Amino acid sequence: MSRWAAPLGALACALLGTAAAQSLPPASAAGIGSVERGRQLLANRSESGCVLCHVVPGLPAGGELGPSLVGIGQRSTAEQLRRRIADARLFNPATIMPVYFSTEGLQGVASAYKGQTVLSAQGLDDIVAYLLSVAR
């Protein structure tokens, strides 16, 4: 065991703590999402792409690269969903899920999109509102 293990572990925790705090997305101006707009965003393959990888409750077809989101609204809080969708790297650094509300540490972003998040704060709230509202 390296004598650096403990200090590095503490450092990693400190850094993760900071990253988590910084990545917490700001609520949209209204702080309230539109369920209908969220449904449209979730279903849109080019705007969000969620259904390419997930079965989404209430939507016809869905992909299977990621876990089914059926029941996710019943077992998550709004804050948990916001963090996960904003930046899935906080939960799994090697995730294949796109980063939707951060521009930090991304590579190969086309110059036209540099500095832009995929979703707006409102879009993120809308998606969370839909996932929390939809029945299994």
Residue ranges in contact with ligand HEC by CB under 6 A: 48-50, 52-54, 65-67, 69, 72, 81, 84-85, 88, 91-92, 95-98, 100, 127
Residues in the chain: 136
CB-wise, 22 or 74, nearer to ligand HEC?
Answer: 74
Torsion angle defined by CA atoms of residues 34, 40, 46 and 49, in that order, rounded to the nearest 10 degrees: 80
For 3, 10, 19, 83, 129, the CA distances from 35, given in Å and listed in that order, are 52, 41, 29, 18, 5
> Judged by CB, which is closer to ligand HEC: 49, or 58?
49
Nearer to ligand HEC among residue 1 and residue 93 (C-beta): 93
Closest approach of Cβ 23 to ligand HEC, in Å? Answer: 14
State both tokens at 122: 């409102």
